[in-house]
Every structure is written in C-alpha cells, then in structure tokens.
Structure 1
Amino acid sequence: MKKSAIALAVGVALSGLLAACGGSDDGPVDIPSVSNPGKFFNRTATFAVCAQVGSSCEDSTPTAAEIVAASEDGMALVYTNSLKGEVGFVDITDPAAPKGLGMLAMGGEPTSVTVLGGHALVAVNTSANFVNASGKLVVVDMAKRSIVTEIQLGGQPDSVARSKDGQYVAVVIENERDESLNKGALPQAPSGYLTIVDTVGAPASWKTRKVELQGLAALYPEDAEPEYVSINDDNVAVVTLQENNHIALVDLPTGKVTRHFSAGAVTLTQVDLTDAPRPNSVNLTETQANRLREPDGVAWVSKTQFATANEGDWNGGSRGFTIFNADGAVAYDAGNTLEHLVARIGHTNDKRSDAKGNEPENVAFGRFDGTDYLFVASERSSVLAVYDMGQKNQPVFKQVLPAALAPEGVLAIPSRNLLIAASENDDRATSSTLRSALNIYQYQNAPAAYPSIQSANRADGTPIPWSALSGLAAAPTGSVVYAIDDSFFRGNRIFEIDTSAKPAKLQREIRITDPSGKIAALAAVLPAAKDANAFDATDLAALVNADGSVNLDPEGIALASGGGFWIASEGSGTVGEAARPVLSANLVFKLSATGVIEDIIQLPAEVNAKQQRFGFEGIAESGGKLVVAFQRAWAGDAHPRIGVYDLAAKTWQFMFYPLDAVASPNKGWVGLSEITAVGNNRFVVIERDNQGGPDARVKKLYRIDLNGVADGATLSKTLVRDVLPDLRKTHGLVVEKIEGFAVLANGDALLVNDNDGVDENNGETWLHHLGPLNLN
C-alpha cells in the first residue's frame, strides 16, 4: 500500500529523530510531537560563486561565500568573499534560478555583512598585521551596488548584526590571534571589544561607541577574543568570546555589559576521538570529559534564550549546540547527538575525530508558518541540522540538509519560506569538486529529500557509521542491495541496505576478515621482487589487522552464485614509479556470507607487470565467469581492460573498452567505475570523468555485450543513459564519483556515489532510483 506524502514525510522526520535522540530504531521510543509534520526544507538551488567570475565557472580563481545577508524584501542576497576582498550580489527572485548581480571591491577583507534598509553593512578587515589591527564598516547601496560611506572601527572586525528596530548595529572586534606565534597560545595583544554603531540619520553621520570586554573571562581575561554577535528584540546583544570560553550580554542603549558567564564544559560519551593511523575507522566508543564548549556562532531564539554553535578553537569544542538562558543557565545541550547524526547519514569526517569532530560553526533561527526552527551548520560534515523549537527547552530534530563544503553563514528568510547557507571552501586548482556556493532551501509541502541512506543502530545504541560507498550489488529477490566501503577506512565492511525504506535503511554491517591467513599465504606465490618498490610480503602483512579484519581497497562487489560475495580490490601504486610504489596488487576475493575470505584470485604475472594506480573498479559474475573492469589503461595499453576469468578453467581473457573523450573544461580523465551483469552475457558499466560541480561532463551508463568477443578485441558500447541530468536533480553541485550501479529484481535501477569518506568532500551520498532502464 502506498504511503501518503504526509505519512512519508512524518516517517522521514521520525526516522531522523531517532538519530538525534540516540534511540534504537528497532524498538519503541518516546518521540516528542513536532509541528507541521508534512512540511520540510528542501534544497531548491545551489549558486556556485565562481559563476560571478565566469558564467561557466571555467576560471580557477579561488572564491568564497562566507557570511550571507538578504535585502529587506528577501529578493537579493549579499555575501562576503574574503579571498577576493569583495562582496557579491545574487538575485533570488526565483529561488530555483539564482542570478549573479556582480561584485564590489571592499578595500580589505570582508568578514561579515548585514542589511539595514537599503544598505548592506560590511565589516572589513584592513589590518596590516596581527598587532596593528584596523578595520572599517563599509555602507553599501544595495540597489546601486556602490559604496555610500566608510566608518572606521579601530580594530579587526569579525561579526556584525543589526537590531530589529534598526537603531543599532553591533560589530565584534576580534583582533584575532596569530596562530603561528607560540603555536597560537593566548594571550596575544591587542584585546578585542564590541563596537556599537548608533544608526541615527544618514550613514555618514552615524556614531560609534566602544564596549570593553577585557577582564570578564577566567581564561585569558586580558585578551578578550569575541567571535560572534546576535541582538534580541529588547536590543540586548549576546557576544561569544570563543577562545575565552565565555559569553557576554550587552545592553545596546547604554553600552553596558549586563551579564557575563562561562560557556562551561560538556562530558561527551560514545564519540570517536581517534583518527590515527590514517585512514582509520569510526568507532563511537570513547569518552571526552569536561570538554570546553568554546562557542562560535550564536543566535537568540527568544528574548530570554539563545543558542550557541560549539565549534571550539584553542582548548575545546563540544561537537554540538547549547540553549542558554539569559542568566547563563544551560536549558539544553545536544551532547553527542550531532556526532551520531552525521555518522548515521555517512557524513563523519574521520580525519577530524581527534580534533573537534563535526565542528558546529554557526546557528540561525526563524519562524516558518508559525513554527520556530533552529538551524545548526556543521563545518566539517557539511550539513545543516534542523530542529523544531516548539517545545521550550526541548529542541526536536526534524531533518538534515546537505550543503556544499564547509557551510559558514546561515540565514533564515521566513517571509519567503527560504533558508540560505554560505559554503566557503573553493579549490578548483587542486580538486575537481570543491566550489564555494550559496545553498538555497525552500520550506515546502513535501517530504525531506535528504538523506537517501541512513543507518540502523548497533547493539550499543549508536548508529552504524558508514561512508565511502564504492560498489553496489542487488540481491536476486526483493529490495536489498549490498555496498562496500573502500580504502579510506581500515577494517573494510559490506553493508546490507533495504532500499524499500525511505530513506534507504543501512541495516547490517559485515566485516571482511581473514581468519585462515589467505592473504599471508600469497607470499608463497609472489614473483621475485624486481626492485625495492615491488609488492612483497611486508605489504601483504599491512593488509591484515591484529583482529583479522583487512585493509583492502574494495571497489566492486557482486553476489556469488554459490553463496557469499565476490570483491574486487583495487591495487595501490604504479610499477616503475618510485613516487607511487606498489603496495598491493589488484585482487579478487571470494567471501562467505559472513565476510570470511575463502579464496583469492590474482591477475596473470604479465598483466601485473603493467600495473598502474587505477585498477579494478567493478566485478560481476555471469555464466560461470567473473568479469572485472579496470578504471583506466595500463602501461602499453590503448584502452582500459575488461578482464574475464573462467571459474572452472581458472584462466583469464582480456578485452579492451574504448572510453569517451575528455570533455570537461577542467580537463582531467575519463574512466570506468562499475560493471554489473544484466543477463545474456551483457553488462552495464559506469563511465565517468573525475570532475564534479560545474566541471562535470561525462557521467554515463553504457552496455557492452561479450558474446562472441575474442580475447584481445576492442569492445563496442551502447549508451543506456546519460545520468548527468539525474545528478543535477539534487539541486546541489554535481557529485564526482558515481561508483555503484545495481538492478533490483523488479527492474528498478539504482545508482550511488562515493563521498570519499568526507575528506575534502561535502559528504553527500545519493542513492538514485532511476526506474526501469532499457538494458537489452
């Protein structure tokens, strides 16, 4: 029976709520009620900031969107681009089709922006160095996009806010520390403070007042390090002093500090604090006692309460958010729930496990259709967590939203049912996927579109952590598929996913193990090493952990006809290249249904002698044979190989696959990422380039037919589907690595991408239901 849209939406929300509450989704749990259960935020567009430089984003000049504000009517955005010393303007009259309106030089580094009437007020850092700090508030005519006046601030500004009644602007003067001096240790003069701007009359006549913040905190009292400011309806500013782990309240009419208090500490349990040796694995089993909150972003949620994003900096970071009463009492703390949420949806950045985890960077608040919502932006996991604030002191998790890499500024525009997040990271020169962007979400009568996969709980009540899905295989009946994680993680696993659930439910993990020493036994059949960089017994030993789990690079998975799985593990290194020594060969593993290695198949020695670092990317079984796809051509080959292994005869044959030409303006390469049997000795392969975002061009499914093809022949291919339009339907930046394809028994074709373990990646994983395809 089909679920109604509302029922489906409620199911998504409650399923996600379990993640935030840490409760099991395999049993009953008390769930607080939520308002507007049929309405959710969904991404409607992503505006790449590089479009302001060139409409097709073919310029590699780094850009950034750090803090964002909206015109009073909500029809235009202004954002800070610190890398270029500019602010940019975007028309969002149609939020599904944002249009760049150009940029304006600020004569320094813009750090924050707000809007008052027809003016954008931009905080600009003009400091010569960390000791000689200076800055200004630049008043910009929004309509003309021109500078009206500049107000000197005397120090380096970092955050700006305006009062609801328009009488005051508060500017945080951080005077940030030099992190290269004495390893960034505090104190470092000059101290920071707060500047109040009285907005009486024309901007040129506005006056400033200075509010000292020295001597308030117990930590480094002589060096106040204010970070962020928010103003409530009573014209009280709350200021976070991040490195001081302190919070101050300032009455703007009088300029007096009326209250100040420590942000306090949190003891976190069931978190992952280890990332070495890299790559490691996510284990939510550790405890971190008395971790200082060190809040960054702050937002009032009422006249008497405010929320902080506890990013951390020098000594802390509690990996969540806190609701404080104005008297300093903690009304609510998120504890480990945000860490569990990102683990459940595949967004844990394991390289930050020993630091500050997901790093909540900022918070925003808004009332949409009568419901109060809090939005928490995670910098390292690149998501926004949305909480229903309808019940006092009890935020209820509603949903999670994907964002481009490293969201920094968050803006609610309730009058237009819009939410904006500014993601600042941009590095086209060294990465094919990282482009700074404005993420635009709309509050709508529709189920939540993200996540597309989320995990069930382990026995200890923590979510099954997962990421870096690199292959896909469908069960012969029903809606279950199997996926694998790749070499980013130690202790490789197979994941069982029920795709009939919305979102799909990652319900079981199967760890790959080698209790019988099959990997070590390969040492006896290795060819004699020709040079110091050759694959040897030492390299074999590194593939197995003390507990018998393995460190492979599983890139392809298929169900074995006799039970269990076939795994294609990509080799590491290039023969003859000293900078990339061969640390492992391309190997096929036969696993039992419980993940135990039963057999290992190697390539012929003459093929191994050609090894390049781009090897096995997919595996399929059909008609008593295994078929493996190589990603790109090896030494001396014109095309990548399709290897066919006869399971009975134990012999190899190789055909060659002709790739599409490179079409991206960012160049790069095109290769294979998957192979799937579709019957009658026919197979579907994923062919893709290594480009993402505006640079993506080749994302295709092709069919090949091996019937009657001779050993050494070049194959012909037939286009099944160009999936680039499917990838764009997420309204985000196009993902680079589509690496898994499977067809369910009912004909539904599935496509999934690899998120690189959230390493220089925003972490989005999309399981696309493509529907029935013509595979004949």
Structure 2
Amino acid sequence: MDRNTEGTTAYQPRIHIFSITFSPTTQSPSPPNLAFEYEDTILFSDPSGTPISGLDPTTVLKFRGYPDIPAATFTGNGFGGNGPGGTRVSIDPEGLVLDSRGGFWISDEYGPYIYHFTSKGRMNIAIRPTPAFIPLRNGTQSFASNNPPVYNPDQVPVPEIPTSGRSNNQGFEGLSYDPEKKALYTLLQSATIQDGGTAGTTRRHARLLKYDLSHRHGRAPRLVGEYVVRLPVFNDPTETKNPRTAAQSEILALGDGRFLLLARDSGFGRGQDETESVYRHIDVFSLASATNILGAYDGHNGSVSPAGVLKPDITAAETCSFLDINISSELAKFGLLNGGTDNDALGLLNEKWEGLALVPVEGHRGEYWLFASSDNDFITQEGYQNFGRDAFADSSGFNLLNQMLVFRVSIK
C-alpha cells in the first residue's frame, strides 16, 4: 500500500512475511482463532537497484529492455522532510502471485502494469498492457492518479481524470495464476474511462487480461486473452443515482476458467462517516462463454461499452453470487459487526477488503478454508514512517487493525 489519508509518500513498497496459526473451532461465540507472527520484509527496488516509491507518478524512467516505467520526481526526502530529492519508480502494488523460484508477480494501479520481482525484491520484468489501458491526458500518457504527495497537496494533474485508459485508482487490482494453464490473469478494478469508467453507475464492464507464462519458464509473458467481466451492482443509500458498481478488489483462479471475485462498496466501515456496508461479496465468474476480444478494442480509445453499455457482439464473463461477508449472524459468532453507532467499536469491520487465499481442508476433498483479508490504509495513531525515523499519526484519530475472516467452502 502506498498512501494514507494525508497523501502519497516515498514509502518503499515491500512484502511482509508472516507465519500464521489457525485453530478452527465450533465454539460460539468464539475467541479469535487466527494469529500472525512477523517474520521478515523484502523491500522493492527498480532494475538498477534503486528503491521504489509510492508517490503519485509525475514522469517516467527508462531502463534498457523495459517499457516506460511510471515514476515520480520529488523534493526533500519524499515524506515532507529535508533531503536531496530525486526521481524514483512509483508503484501502487495491489495483487500478489508467488512464483516457483521465490520471486513475486505484482499488479499495479498506477500503470496499470504487472511487475516481476526477484526473491531479493529487484524488478526484472515489467509488463505494459495494450494502449486501451494506458491513461492519457492532453493526448499523451499520464500515470498520475490524482493523489498528491504529502508535501505538495496542490500537485494535481490536468485534467484530474484521464480522457482514456484506466481511471484514477482503478488499475490492476486483481491478480491470480492458474497452474494448469500456466497463465497469469489480471483484472481492472472497474471499467476504463472509455468503457464507462467516469461514473459509479456506468463503470461495470472491467477488462481481464490473460498472459501465457509457459514460454522460457515465465520470463517472456505473452498476452493471449482479453475478456470483459461484468461487475456486480448494489444500491447505495448515500447516493441519489443507483445502482452503483461494486468495484473488485481481488481475483483468485479456481481452474477451468473460473475465478473467485472479491467485490465491494467503498466508504463504509470502521473510521468512516458511514459504518454499515451494503455490499461485500466473494462472487464467482466464468470465462467459459466469454468473448476473447484481444486485438479488437485495444487502441487508446477502443471501447467495449460506450457510456457503460456493452456492445452486442461481446459476451461478458458469467458472474454469480457466492458468499456474503456482511451477514450479521455469522459475524456475531466472532464478536464482529457490520455497522453500528459506536464508530470506534473494535469489532466493526474495516472498509477495505482486498485479499483472498484458499487452503485445502485436510482430509476433506473439495473443501477449502477461504481467507479474506482487509488492510488498515495506514490508519493508526502509533505509526512510524521513513524507516522509523518519523512518528506518524493519521488525522482521522482512529487506530485500525488489519482484519482477516476465514470461511469453510466447498468447491467442485
């Protein structure tokens, strides 16, 4: 995660490694039965070994053999303090896939790009998608997401919203790997600008890309598929125009072209003005009947759903509802709440749910533990930044803990 409520910083993206102890129980109400213990951290650097930042991009950096990489030029130390300034690669990391050699595939919102990092955290592959995904302003590529840095809140792109490509903060949110097909899949959080991405009521048709990793053991990814995923909708009680799109936050490949899809509303949860969420689901979609549109709408203004209306010659992936995270009776078994009058209640669910993982249930074929995780968006009163040099307290006044829910599910 690259930013907090104060603005973007030169925070160096990283992988945290934890050991997890899970003790399933039938006791109700149950005490917490999932424990984390910190083990290690892997910091991300660019192909030259220079640390990467989370600052909103203002330019690009060029490395031999790579596409233009989004980057930010900053003053001081990049956190609002004194320093020499500089220019660093910028990523907003979202999805994570581990490879067989100890490295990592990371999906990014800024580009939107996909990056591969070695086990030591150095970037060695960068995947730039087709022009339809690249944000344009004034006719040229512009990777800013309108998230100014903490030291310059007036750093706003013009225009604020791109004229085509991924919308602000709606890049490659979901990332998953299918070992049977040796394929990497990534999904936009919601529709591109030209596909209706300018409004919550029209941004339903998100694009999914499929990369073949079988060539040279994954070192030469090949784009072989592009599909439309129709995201769920819900009625937002705080808005006058409905229904609204439930933007997705994660995907997880199940095989045979099937995926889990974590889709949700936004702005509802602990520390928000409204605490009760309307829609937090883990749904399912299938590519079995979906149209492969690769090469058909990949230009800068190529549109699959002008103003949010899907073109009649395109069949979107079939999506169906599966699991509702917000069921109060289930949450109550663990002392948890979806909404409430006490906005600082420890059991209130966080707003952002963005991670999925499956683990087989030992001795039960076809059954799995499904882990769904949230992040705290750096919302804390007891934090540190810049490698512990500076104390940090979020202006909201809240302390949000990372949260994780575990479900037992059957998947055929």
TM superposition score normalised by structure 2? 0.58
Matched, 1:607 2:173: no
For each residue in 1:712-735, what CA deviation from the matched residue of structure 2 results, as whole angstroms up to 9, or x when unmatched?
Answer: 330111322111125565233332
Q: In structure 1, what is the equivalent of residue 11 of structure 2?
A: 490
1:652, distance to aligned residue in structure 2 (A): 4.8
Indicate how the Cα distance of structure 1 residues 685 and 727 shifts in structure 2: closer, same or farther if over 3 A, else same. Answer: farther
1:708, distance to aligned residue in structure 2 (A): 5.6
Structure 1 CA distance for aligned equivalents of residues 377 and 15 of structure 2: 16
Q: In structure 1, what is the equivalent of residue 182 of structure 2?
A: 624
Structure 2 CA distance for aligned equivalents of residues 672 and 503 of structure 1: 27
Identity rate, percent: 24
Q: In structure 1, what is the equivalent of residue 250 of structure 2?
A: 674
1:332-411 equivalences in 2 (<5 Å): none
1:555, distance to aligned residue in structure 2 (A): 0.9
- One-letter amino acid matched to 1:734: L
Matched-pair contact (CA < 8 Å) for 2:190–2:248: yes
Indicate how the Cα distance of structure 1 residues 549 and 769 shifts in structure 2: closer, same or farther if over 3 A, else same. Answer: farther
Matched-pair contact (CA < 8 Å) for 2:113–2:129: yes
Structure label with greater radius of gyration: 1
- One-letter amino acid matched to 2:370: A
Q: In structure 2, what is the equivalent of residue 633 of structure 1?
A: 191
Q: In structure 2, what is the equivalent of residue 730 of structure 1?
A: 336
Indicate how the Cα distance of structure 1 residues 541 and 600 shifts in structure 2: closer, same or farther if over 3 A, else same. Answer: farther
Q: In structure 2, what is the equivalent of residue 646 of structure 1?
A: 212
1:570, distance to aligned residue in structure 2 (A): 0.5
Q: 2:322 aligns with which of 714, 720, 743?
A: 720
Q: In structure 1, what is the equivalent of residue 152 of structure 2?
A: none
1:506, distance to aligned residue in structure 2 (A): 2.6
Structure 1 CA distance for aligned equivalents of residues 122 and 66 of structure 2: 21
1:629, distance to aligned residue in structure 2 (A): 1.6
Q: In structure 2, what is the equivalent of residue 757 of structure 1?
A: 378
Structure 1 CA distance for aligned equivalents of residues 100 and 257 of structure 2: 15
Q: Which aligned segments of 4 or more residues in structure 1 are displaced greater than 6 angstroms? A: 486-489, 544-549
1:202-217 equivalences in 2 (<5 Å): none
Structure 2 CA distance for aligned equivalents of residues 709 and 538 of structure 1: 32
Structure 1 CA distance for aligned equivalents of residues 16 and 87 of structure 2: 18
- One-letter amino acid matched to 1:506: Y
Matched-pair contact (CA < 8 Å) for 2:71–2:90: no
1:671, distance to aligned residue in structure 2 (A): 0.3
Structure 2 CA distance for aligned equivalents of residues 596 and 745 of structure 1: 32
User: Structure 1: any 5+ residue segments left out of the alignment?
Assistant: 1-278, 281-348, 352-485, 527-535, 572-584
Matched-pair contact (CA < 8 Å) for 1:665–1:695: no
Structure 2 CA distance for aligned equivalents of residues 521 and 508 of structure 1: 31
Structure 2 CA distance for aligned equivalents of residues 538 and 739 of structure 1: 23
Matched-pair contact (CA < 8 Å) for 2:206–2:228: yes
1:90-129 equivalences in 2 (<5 Å): none
Matched-pair contact (CA < 8 Å) for 1:700–1:722: yes
1:561, distance to aligned residue in structure 2 (A): 3.9
Matched-pair contact (CA < 8 Å) for 1:492–1:550: no
Q: In structure 1, what is the equivalent of residue 405 of structure 2?
A: 768
For each residue in 1:193-226, what CA deviation from the matched residue of structure 2 results, as whole angstroms up to 9, or x when unmatched?
Answer: xxxxxxxxxxxxxxxxxxxxxxxxxxxxxxxxxx
SS in 2 for 1:503: strand
Indicate how the Cα distance of structure 1 residues 537 and 766 shifts in structure 2: closer, same or farther if over 3 A, else same. Answer: closer
Aligned length: 272
Structure 2 CA distance for aligned equivalents of residues 624 and 708 of structure 1: 20
For each residue in 1:496-516, what CA deviation from the matched residue of structure 2 results, as whole angstroms up to 9, or x when unmatched?
Answer: 122216522232211112253
1:254-653 equivalences in 2 (<5 Å): 490-500=11-21, 502-516=34-48, 520-521=61-62, 539=71, 551-571=90-110, 585-609=111-135, 610-613=165-168, 614-622=170-178, 623-637=181-195, 639-647=205-213, 648=215, 650-653=222-225
- One-letter amino acid matched to 2:317: L
Flag the structure with higher helix content: 1
Indicate how the Cα distance of structure 1 residues 673 and 540 shifts in structure 2: closer, same or farther if over 3 A, else same. Answer: same
SS in 2 for 1:676: strand
- One-letter amino acid matched to 1:503: A
Matched-pair contact (CA < 8 Å) for 1:628–1:642: yes
Matched, 1:689 2:265: yes
Indicate how the Cα distance of structure 1 residues 597 and 513 shifts in structure 2: closer, same or farther if over 3 A, else same. Answer: same
Matched-pair contact (CA < 8 Å) for 2:211–2:224: yes
Structure 1 CA distance for aligned equivalents of residues 93 and 259 of structure 2: 20
Structure 2 CA distance for aligned equivalents of residues 700 and 557 of structure 1: 20
Indicate how the Cα distance of structure 1 residues 489 and 696 shifts in structure 2: closer, same or farther if over 3 A, else same. Answer: farther
Indicate how the Cα distance of structure 1 residues 724 and 707 shifts in structure 2: closer, same or farther if over 3 A, else same. Answer: same
- Whose RCO is larger (CA < 8 A, sep 6+)? 2
Structure 2 CA distance for aligned equivalents of residues 721 and 538 of structure 1: 36
Structure 1 CA distance for aligned equivalents of residues 115 and 356 of structure 2: 20
For each residue in 1:469-524, what CA deviation from the matched residue of structure 2 results, as whole angstroms up to 9, or x when unmatched?
Answer: xxxxxxxxxxxxxxxxx977710111112221652223221111225369833598
1:751, distance to aligned residue in structure 2 (A): 1.0
Indicate how the Cα distance of structure 1 residues 593 and 727 shifts in structure 2: closer, same or farther if over 3 A, else same. Answer: farther
Indicate how the Cα distance of structure 1 residues 515 and 602 shifts in structure 2: closer, same or farther if over 3 A, else same. Answer: closer
Indicate how the Cα distance of structure 1 residues 685 and 773 shifts in structure 2: closer, same or farther if over 3 A, else same. Answer: same
Indicate how the Cα distance of structure 1 residues 492 and 688 shifts in structure 2: closer, same or farther if over 3 A, else same. Answer: same
SS in 2 for 1:773: strand
- One-letter amino acid matched to 2:174: G
Q: In structure 2, what is the equivalent of residue 577 of structure 1?
A: none
SS in 1 for 2:194: coil
Structure 1 CA distance for aligned equivalents of residues 235 and 227 of structure 2: 25
TM superposition score normalised by structure 1? 0.32
Structure 1 CA distance for aligned equivalents of residues 87 and 119 of structure 2: 16
Structure 1 CA distance for aligned equivalents of residues 17 and 71 of structure 2: 30
Structure 1 CA distance for aligned equivalents of residues 10 and 73 of structure 2: 17
Indicate how the Cα distance of structure 1 residues 755 and 590 shifts in structure 2: closer, same or farther if over 3 A, else same. Answer: same
Matched-pair contact (CA < 8 Å) for 1:688–1:700: yes
- One-letter amino acid matched to 1:756: D
SS in 1 for 2:126: strand
Q: 2:282 aligns with which of 692, 701, 714?
A: 701
- One-letter amino acid matched to 1:676: L
1:562, distance to aligned residue in structure 2 (A): 4.5
Matched-pair contact (CA < 8 Å) for 2:352–2:375: yes
